[in-house]
């Protein structure tokens, strides 16, 4: 069991409330996943100025590491500490920044990257973490969140969701993959590197690998159905797009609610219960094995 919550805002007037709405959704799913939690927020200028890149890491804790990143990058970086996460920001490309972080602080687990999305994650209860992240005060265009009940790998921050392995590509997963080791080996043969032993990271890496090869998000998700064995509801976001996919048996739950002002996906209705206008929303369960996408 895990909890999934995602919200894409269509009405610009709702953008300042994105974080508060997402925090409420996430905290109502805490009993689906009390081990850990994480969130990714898109287009919040307070976290990431427009046009900047970011790489978020689990805070390595040693002093002076931001200076080491700047030296490796050869450009100015700005580090913002958000709960157990540090968000490294620069005006360079994301790839250059990620390379500099890797060179300067190889021991720091990189948990997210992009020019729109900032990923924050940790271990513990959703209420504590969303408060540490200051999520209530954040705005944005869309957000994705997860409460984790660990099954396939340890309760460590690097195993928390979302998994953001390519620019602005974030994935959360409820379920478990039974052939993740096989898929991981295949991807490694193609040069893909991994940050954790987590099965969900394999799906994120697979989707990123396929999209780098030219697949659309929908095509990459359709391949997931044929390649991965196991139970899953996946919510995947890219800049401007929100997607959901359930396994062909639909063991794991998902509820979609849609209004003119927003579209939301959650593991259970109770996560949606406080969204404005939910009482008149179009509510449905995604069909098994079918990819749904919404673009803002």
Site string for another protein, 237-266 (x = CB under 8 A): ------------xx--x-x-----------
Q: Is 273 an interacting residue with respect to another protein (CB under 8 A)?
A: yes
Q: Is 269 an interacting residue with respect to another protein (CB under 8 A)?
A: yes
d(CA 263, CA 260): 8
d(CA 53, CA 51): 7
One DSSP character per residue, 110-137 reads EEEEESSEEEEEEES-HHHHHHHHTGGG
| 2 classed as catalytic | yes
The residue range among 61-69, 220-228, 236-244, 272-280 that interacts with another protein, by the rule CB under 8 A, is 272-280
Total number of residues binding another protein (CB under 8 A)? 16
Q: Is the peptide bond before 129 cis (omega within 30 degrees of 0)?
A: no
C-beta closer to another protein: residue 14 or 275: 275
Q: Is 288 an interacting residue with respect to another protein (CB under 8 A)?
A: yes
Q: Is 79 an interacting residue with respect to another protein (CB under 8 A)?
A: no
Closest separation in Å from C-beta 270 to another protein: 3
d(CA 178, CA 29): 24
Q: Is 270 an interacting residue with respect to another protein (CB under 8 A)?
A: yes
- Please report the sign of the dihedral spanned by the C-alpha atoms of residue 263, residue 265, residue 271, residue 273: positive
Q: What is the DSSP letter of 9?
A: E
Q: Is 283 an interacting residue with respect to another protein (CB under 8 A)?
A: yes
C-beta closer to another protein: residue 172 or 255: 255
d(CA 176, CA 150): 10
Q: Is 194 an interacting residue with respect to another protein (CB under 8 A)?
A: no
Q: Which residue, 61, 73, 64, 71, is CA-closest to 98?
A: 73
User: Residue numbers of the site for another protein (CB under 8 A)?
Assistant: 249-250, 253, 255, 268-274, 283-285, 287-288
**Residues belonging to the active site:** 2
């Amino acid at each position: 069991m895990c909890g999934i919550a995602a919200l894409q805002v269509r009405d610009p007037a709702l953008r300042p409330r994105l974080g508060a709405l997402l925090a409420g959704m996430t905290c109502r799913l805490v009993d689906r996943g009390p081990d850990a939690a994480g969130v990714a927020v898109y287009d919040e200028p307070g976290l990431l100025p427009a046009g900047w890149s970011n790489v978020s890491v689990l805070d390595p804790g040693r002093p002076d590491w931001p200076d080491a990143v700047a030296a490796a990058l050869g450009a100015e970086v700005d580090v913002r500490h958000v709960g157990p996460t540090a968000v490294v920001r620069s005006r360079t490309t994301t790839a250059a920044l990620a390379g500099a972080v890797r060179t300067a602080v190889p021991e720091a687990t990189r948990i997210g990257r992009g020019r729109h999305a900032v990923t924050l994650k940790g271990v513990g209860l959703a209420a504590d973490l969303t408060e540490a992240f200051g999520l209530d005060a954040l705005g944005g265009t869309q957000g994705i969140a997860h409460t984790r009940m660990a099954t396939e790998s340890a309760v460590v921050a690097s195993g928390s969701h979302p998994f953001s392995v390519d620019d602005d590509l974030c994935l959360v997963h409820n379920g478990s993959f039974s052939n993740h080791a096989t898929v991981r080996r295949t991807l490694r043969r193609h040069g893909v590197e991994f940050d954790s032993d987590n099965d969900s990271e394999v799906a994120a890496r697979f989707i990123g690998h396929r999209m780098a090869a030219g697949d659309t998000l929908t095509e990459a998700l359709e391949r997931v159905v044929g390649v991965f064995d196991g139970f899953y509801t996946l919510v995947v976001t890219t800049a401007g797009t929100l997607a959901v996919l359930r396994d062909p048996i639909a063991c794991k739950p998902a509820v979609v609610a849609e209004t003119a002002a927003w579209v939301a996906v959650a593991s259970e209705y109770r996560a949606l219960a406080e969204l404005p206008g939910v009482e008149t929303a179009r509510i449905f369960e995604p069909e098994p094995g079918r990819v749904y996408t919404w673009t803002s």
